[in-house]
C-alpha cells in the first residue's frame, strides 16, 4: 500500500521521468504557476513506458488512503436562484462557505492495459496558493433490492493526495485524457447527522487543452448541486437517512436524486427564492 502511495506521489518513477526531461527543460522559474508548469506532456521514453505498463497492473482500488463508501445525490438549479440557495444553506449549516475552483481531468486506460478499462480523475484545487492535486477513483454503486429502495446512491470511492507529477505518471502508465472540466462555485462542509458536504458549481469546458482561463459554461444558466457524505459498511444506513433528511430542506429550490437520474428544475424555485431573498432566509419553507 505504501509503495503505491509513493508511486502516486511521484517517488521513483517521477524522478526518472524528470531526469529524462532535464536536458530539454527550461529551468527558468517564476513566482506564479502557468498552465505549462502545472501540466506535463508524455515523452517517447520507451524503456520508462514499458516499466510504467508493468506498474499499470496495480489494483487501483487499493491506492491512496483506502476504499471508503460515499453517499451522494445531485440536482440542478438555475443560476439566478443560486444566491437564494446560498442563503438557505448558510442558515441550515451555520458555517461559512468555501470558494471552489477545481480543474478536473478524467483519464481512461487504453484497451491493451487489461481486460477491464479503468478510469481515474485528477483534481487540481486552484483556490490554494499553490495548486494542490488529488487523484480519485469512483467505484461501483451498491446493488440489490435495498439499494433500489433508497433515494441516495451509495458507492465506493478511493482518494489520495498526489504531487503535480501525477498527470505525467498516469500518461506513462498508458492512461489517456478523455475530457477535462473546470468547476467554479462554492461548498459548505458541516455536521448534521453525518459529515455532509454541499457543492454548488457551474461546469465549464476548455476550448483548448488545459486553458482554464478561457473556459466556457457547458450549460449556461444552470449549476450543479451535489450533496455527499462519507460512510462505511457499518453506518451507511444512518448516513443515508441524514442525507435524505437534509435534502428535504432544499426541496423548494431543487430536486436531488441519484447521479444520472434527471429531475430538472423545480417549478416552485422562483417563489421560494423570492421569499428567501426578501428576508435573508428568515422565512420557513
DSSP 8-state assignment for residue 79: G
Domain count, the chain: 1
Identify whether 254 is part of a domain. yes
- Nearest-angstrom CA–CA distance, 285 and 273: 10
Mean confidence (pLDDT) of the chain: 79
Identify whether 121 is part of a domain. yes
How many Cβ atoms are within 10 Å of 269's Cβ, its own excluded? 19
- Nearest-angstrom CA–CA distance, 244 and 247: 5
Crossing angle of the two packed helices 13-21 and 46-55, in degrees rounded to 10: 160
Identify whether 285 is part of a domain. no
Identify whether 284 is part of a domain. no
Identify whether 76 is part of a domain. yes
What's the whole-model pTM score? 0.76
Backbone angles phi, psi at 168, to 5 degrees: -60, -40
Running along the chain, 285 residues long, what does each successive block of 10 average in pLDDT?
41 46 42 48 39 43 63 96 95 94 92 67 93 88 83 90 87 90 97 96 94 94 96 92 96 92 86 84 45
- Report the CATH number that the domain containing residue 143 is assigned in CATH: 2.40.320.10
pLDDT tens for each residue of 132-184: 999 998 888 888 877 888 889 999 988 888 888 888 888 888 889 999 999 99
Q: Which residue range(s) make up the domain with 197? A: 2-279
Identify whether 115 is part of a domain. yes
Identify whether 183 is part of a domain. yes
Amino acid at each position: 500500500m505504501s509503495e503505491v502511495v509513493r508511486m502516486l506521489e511521484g517517488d521513483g518513477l517521477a524522478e526518472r521521468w524528470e531526469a529524462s526531461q532535464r536536458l530539454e527543460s527550461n529551468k527558468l522559474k517564476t513566482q506564479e504557476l502557468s498552465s505549462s508548469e502545472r501540466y506535463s506532456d508524455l515523452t517517447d521514453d520507451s524503456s520508462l513506458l514499458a516499466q510504467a505498463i508493468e506498474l499499470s497492473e496495480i489494483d487501483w482500488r487499493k491506492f491512496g488512503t483506502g476504499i471508503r463508501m460515499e453517499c451522494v445525490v445531485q440536482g440542478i438549479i438555475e443560476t439566478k436562484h443560486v444566491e437564494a440557495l446560498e442563503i438557505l444553506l448558510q442558515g441550515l449549516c451555520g458555517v461559512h462557505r468555501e470558494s471552489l475552483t477545481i480543474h478536473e481531468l478524467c483519464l481512461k486506460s487504453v484497451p491493451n492495459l487489461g481486460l477491464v478499462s479503468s478510469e481515474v480523475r485528477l483534481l487540481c484545487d486552484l483556490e490554494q496558493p499553490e495548486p494542490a492535486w488529488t487523484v480519485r477513483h469512483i467505484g461501483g454503486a451498491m446493488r440489490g433490492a435495498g439499494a433500489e429502495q433508497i433515494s441516495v446512491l451509495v458507492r465506493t470511492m478511493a482518494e489520495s493526495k498526489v504531487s503535480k507529477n501525477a498527470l505525467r505518471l498516469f500518461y506513462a502508465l498508458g492512461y489517456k485524457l478523455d475530457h477535462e472540466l473546470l468547476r467554479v462555485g462554492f461548498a459548505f462542509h458541516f455536521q448534521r447527522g453525518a459529515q455532509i458536504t454541499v457543492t454548488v458549481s457551474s461546469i465549464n469546458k476548455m476550448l483548448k487543452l488545459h486553458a482554464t482561463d478561457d473556459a466556457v459554461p457547458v450549460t449556461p444558466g444552470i449549476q450543479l448541486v451535489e450533496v455527499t457524505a462519507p460512510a462505511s459498511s457499518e453506518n451507511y444506513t444512518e448516513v443515508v437517512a441524514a442525507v435524505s433528511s437534509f435534502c428535504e430542506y432544499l426541496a423548494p429550490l431543487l430536486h436531488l436524486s441519484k447521479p444520472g437520474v434527471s429531475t430538472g428544475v423545480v417549478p416552485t424555485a422562483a417563489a421560494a427564492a423570492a421569499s428567501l431573498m426578501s428576508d435573508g432566509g428568515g422565512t420557513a419553507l
